[in-house]
Amino acid sequence: MSEEFVFGWHAVDAVLKKEPERLQQVWIQQGRQDRRVRQITEGLDQLGVQWQVVHRKELDARVSGAHQGVVAQVSESREWTEDDLYRMLAGRSEPPLLLVLDGVTDPHNLGACMRTADAAGVAAVIVPKDKSATLNPTARKVACGAAETVPFVRVTNLARCLRTLQEQGVWLIGTAGEAEATLYQADFKGPVGLVMGAEGKGMRRLTREHCDHLIQIPMHGLVDSLNVSVATGVCLYEAVRQRQSAG
């Protein structure tokens, strides 16, 4: 079975709580003796998972990035398929809120989007298999545990997936700087998929053509665009506001 590393206290704690069967071994930096360390190590002891106190240099050698003093070796997570996604949607009683990321290649942005998606109650995050960041250790660390809670679906053909979602009653709202309608004119109260484009280039042509409605975030300063993770947060929380008021 393939193995991968998860690092950062939030990410490791999320695996411990949500997918403990994936944990194989954990390394903790020397000198850490706070409550967070005790909680993690007590949980590992209960599971019978090996953990070891090591010098920071050993952690630095295992992963690249700010590990915060903890690294876990885990079995590879099971990736959601399109069929998993459609089954989940068919079994829901409430209208879903989905997030579609078209060509977001920076793992930091992907992790930040996952974290916001979790906070906003997103049912699943959908990305294309090509030209997209994966949930590598960096993305998982930035996601602060959301990578273990929000279904992450990589699809071979994004346009085909969008068509299928539309056939299932999902309304696709895409963001584009040149759109005439604004975010605050969109209706997010029903089954909705928010479609966000890549950093800089925006959505690909086929993705744009499959959107039912295009919107833009009003910009009142000199800057003409927002980072994709920031824009995602702005849009998702307008959706949250509308859906709460409707409920």
Binding site listing: 197, 217, 226
Maximum alpha-carbon separation in the chain:
58
Q: 145-170: buried (b, 16+ CB within 10 Å) or exposed (e) per residue?
A: bbbbebbbbbbeebbebbebbbeeeb
User: Which residue from 93, 118, 124, 120 is spatially nearest to 240, judged by alpha carbons?
Assistant: 120
For residues 7 and 136, is the Cβ–Cβ distance under 8 A?
A: no
Structure tokens belonging to residue 18: 């949500």
Binding-site residues for S-adenosyl-L-methionine, please? 197, 217, 226
d(CA 98, CA 154): 13
